[in-house]
Amino acid sequence: MLANVAAVDPVATLDAIERSIARRQVAGEQLVGEEFRILLLSLAFDSELFDRSVALILVLIEFEEPGRFSNQVRNSFPSLFHLCLSGTHATIPQRVAVIDGLLCSDSDRSMSGRPRRHRDC
């Protein structure tokens, strides 16, 4: 149902997804990335919603429970960063800022799922 009304108010849709994910994290529940994957990728199309959508996608990637669809979010994420036909109207600087943030992240896991080597940022 959320996907059907998302186009009417995309900002409210992101608000609802953020609240849902935050509640699950506070409750200690595992996240199911597939639940919001397509919707978040669609919302990331808009450059004004890109940063918030990407932040939520990264939360899903890092904290989702292992399962049948657990790599779908991880595998879909790079499509937002293609130079041509990226699936987003986000600017190049917006996309570079996300990539820089990932490279400088303290997260134990990189986008590949392997431990990251330390890099000065």
Range of the domain at 65: 2-103
Q: Is 108 within a domain?
A: no
Choose between 89 and 65: higher pLDDT. 89
- Give domain status of residue 59, yes or no: yes
CB 41 within 8 A of CB 87: yes
Name the more confident of 14 and 68: 14
- Position 109 in a domain: no
- pTM for the full model? 0.81
Q: Is residue 120 part of a domain?
A: no
The answer to whether position 75 is within a domain reads yes
Total of domains in the chain: 1
Q: Is 88 left (phi over 0), alpha (psi -120 to 50) or beta?
A: beta
Q: Rounded distance, CA 23 to CA 96, Å?
A: 30
pLDDT surpasses 80 at 119: no
Q: What are phi and psi of 52, to 5 degrees?
A: -65, -40
Residue 57 half-sphere exposure, CB side, CA atoms within 13 Å?
A: 27
Residue whose token pair is 């919302």: 43
